[in-house]
Structure 1
């Protein structure tokens, strides 16, 4: 017979792939985690994990159990939420994984109304430019630039947005004229660190100026915006970041416009939680009201 509490240990190992990490999150020693996993495997009569260089990887039996374990977790969370919350006030934490630009310039500035309505609700924003944030399942909602491969999540279009080239007037006045995209080869470009970037949708400079390396590289768009606004060079920024900044001017607006899309991701086992639904509704509202974002028709 399966001991329900063992499923907590199973879920943490499945999501983190490390006994040590799972133990820290559960507040126990990693040997305790290993012992509980071994007990669960004995009760089921199947091996649930294989040891691999990437960590503890689910077997076929482990994948089958994961579906049921997440459903049980979701039911328990919903039960706790319905009994602990009263009068429409939500509590608990919703962690949102998001690209830096969306999290910093779109989501964070629009939290006031939600927080005022639900003062007991905590919102955590985790920004990243790598896809591995989704593989660890350490989020309740996610905004991504590409639809994920995971089958355990629901994925829907959130908003379209555009990017363009930006620099300061001072920079443009003291450097060679930019009349076409090929002229950018004579300029200091600001972009992402290639070795820390695994999202193809962010490799924008490769399309605009093939083969030209960015001389100033950061792992987030906030750093690129700061560098461009300081007059350090030319950066590709979302229009919702570049246009409102009076220090920046658009470069080659008629020639260089890049279209991208944000996707809204929610784990299926969390979709029923009221606090998650509240944040989804807020993000849908933001998508319709935020300058620089358009809702797909």
Structure 2
């Protein structure tokens, strides 16, 4: 099959799999117009429509079902050749948007992004640094990396590491505490503070663990921080006996509709493996003063 025909066929299969042009565009890492143009080119080259356009999306015409089946066989054969030619490693292409907290985005994930970029310059990882949860119903992100007790119902994912929190301060700092505000007010550490730290012992606060770290470094009080932040910050020490060690799973999830998109599935698995390898640093079982 001529390469341009195969390229067009990939777009037809994506629409057949995803059911809409917009979802196919996200899966392929292209824009909506490109998908429409490629599908139209395939239909023009092969003498007729493949899909019925409906109010809810694109449905394969009953008489074209065997065409789609044959196309999948072609796809499997071409992908098999590519894997053999590339040492059984399929190339990674397109954009993957990863949403996580500011501390995870700034301290933990950049080395993994560098690794993935070195393996495939055609793969673009965009880190979305926010302490609020991305709106997956609006597809604002492809993958979420979040410390949480559970994933929302519309998401699917896994957890292979636990994030621990401890109290940190500078020697001789004020005996006040630094509060967690904004999105962090719903976190496990914030709930502990609500029941154990009187309001008159709160000096100031922030909605960012990285800002809390800086305030603690200035001696303004004790901050509850993820251990991978507290243990890697020169000048901060654990505040012994100030609080129990709290922990929460780190979930790596995606919207259920995107879980089988190859590049998203592969990046999600790489993140899970990366976190699992660093589990002792994340769950507080080691005192390593750095993240490799």
Scaled by the length of structure 2, the TM-score of the pair is 0.62
CA 1:214/1:131 → structure 2, altered by over 3 Å: closer, same or farther? Answer: farther
Residue 228 (structure 1) aligned with residue 220 (structure 2):
no
> Secondary structure of 1:241's partner?
helix
Scaled by the length of structure 1, the TM-score of the pair is 0.61
Match of 2:143 in 1: 141
Match of 1:153 in 2: 155
**Structure 2 gap segments, 5+ residues each:** 1-14, 26-30, 34-53, 60-67, 285-292
CA distance in 2, matches of 1:246, 1:101: 16
CA distance in 1, matches of 2:102, 2:196: 21
Contact 2:160–2:276 (CA under 8 A) maintained in structure 1: no
CA deviations 1:145-203 (Å, max 9, x no partner) are 242333x321322311211111112x43xx4xxxxxxxxxxx33223224x55634352
CA 1:142/1:206 → structure 2, altered by over 3 Å: closer, same or farther? Answer: same
> Secondary structure of 2:141's partner?
coil
CA 1:224/1:284 → structure 2, altered by over 3 Å: closer, same or farther? Answer: same
CA distance in 1, matches of 2:227, 2:158: 22
Match of 1:92 in 2: 94
Between 102-111 and 233-242, the greater mean CA deviation after superposition = 102-111
From 282, 285, 292, give the equivalent of 1:293: 282
Residue 244 (structure 1) aligned with residue 246 (structure 2):
no
CA distance in 2, matches of 1:9, 1:100: 29
**Structure 1 gap segments, 5+ residues each:** 13-24, 28-42, 45-64, 69-74, 176-186
CA-based RMSD: 3.8
Between 1 and 2, higher relative CO (CA 8 Å, sep ≥ 6) is seen in: 1
Q: Which has the larger radius of gyration?
A: 2
Q: How many pairs were matched up?
A: 220
Match of 1:261 in 2: 249
Match of 2:37 in 1: none
What are the equivalent positions in structure 2 for 1:277-288 lying under 5 Å apart? 277-288=265-276
